[in-house]
């Protein structure tokens, strides 16, 4: 199991001047999830999870916060004053280790303020730094905001075969770097 990547901790400022602290997720961040999810609308949760979600179980939250950093990373944005969780982006390496699947979620009141962009860029920077060839995800076709952001970030957008409601988004990052021995 990989060590906590402290070098990815960073203080940032959103375009509106709001300060955020972005860092890799830790197991103790499970305690932040109930308040975070309470600040996300049911529709935004549906857009993220592709189904109606009322709440996550302790077991589900544990799976989201206890990561093997060699196989997955999640960056959370925290309010430096309150310590509250503002958003999260996840990246799980594919089985062959050449790419990774991402997912992102921010507090509903913070949509359109640059936090999603900040988290996506951090995830992309990380993917490049660890030598992934691509990042990819699935986005509901109705999620025009996410699809627009992906397009502006350089993702290729395609239809999911047999699933008209889902789009596949892929960002090529170049040839994968070989893992260090």
The structure's pTM equals 0.89
| pLDDT per residue as tens, the chain (181 positions) | 688 999 999 999 999 999 999 999 999 999 999 999 888 877 677 667 655 566 777 888 888 889 999 999 999 999 999 999 999 999 999 999 899 999 999 998 888 899 999 999 999 999 999 999 999 999 888 888 889 999 999 999 999 888 888 899 999 998 665 554 4
SS3 content of the chain, % helix, strand, coil (to 5): 35, 30, 35
Note the CATH architecture for domain 6-130: 3-Layer(aba) Sandwich (3.40)
Which tokens sit at 46? 């549906």
CA angle 32, 59, 101 (to 5 degrees): 80
CB atoms within 10 A of CB 99: 22
Lookup: tokens for 148: 């627009």
* Exposure letters 111-128 (e unless 16+ CB within 10 A, then b): eebbbbbbbbebbbebbe
Q: Where are the domains of the chain?
A: 6-130
């Amino acid at each position: 199991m990989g060590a906590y990547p402290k070098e990815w901790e960073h203080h940032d400022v959103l375009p509106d001047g709001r300060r955020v602290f972005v860092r890799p997720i830790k197991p103790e961040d499970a305690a932040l999830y109930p308040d975070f999810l309470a600040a996300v609308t049911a529709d935004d949760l549906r857009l993220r999870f592709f189904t109606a979600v009322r709440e996550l179980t302790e077991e589900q939250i544990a799976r989201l916060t206890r990561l093997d950093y060699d196989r997955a990373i999640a960056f959370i944005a925290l309010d430096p004053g309150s310590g509250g969780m503002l958003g999260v982006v996840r990246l799980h390496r594919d089985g062959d280790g050449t790419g990774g699947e991402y997912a992102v979620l921010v507090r509903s009141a913070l949509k359109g303020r640059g936090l999603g962009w900040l988290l996506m860029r951090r995830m992309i920077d990380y993917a490049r730094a660890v030598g992934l060839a691509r990042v990819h995800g699935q986005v509901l076709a109705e999620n025009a905001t996410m699809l627009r952001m992906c397009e502006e970030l350089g993702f290729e957008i395609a239809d999911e075969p047999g699933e008209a409601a889902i789009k596949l988004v892929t960002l090529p990052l170049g040839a994968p770097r070989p893992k260090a021995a």
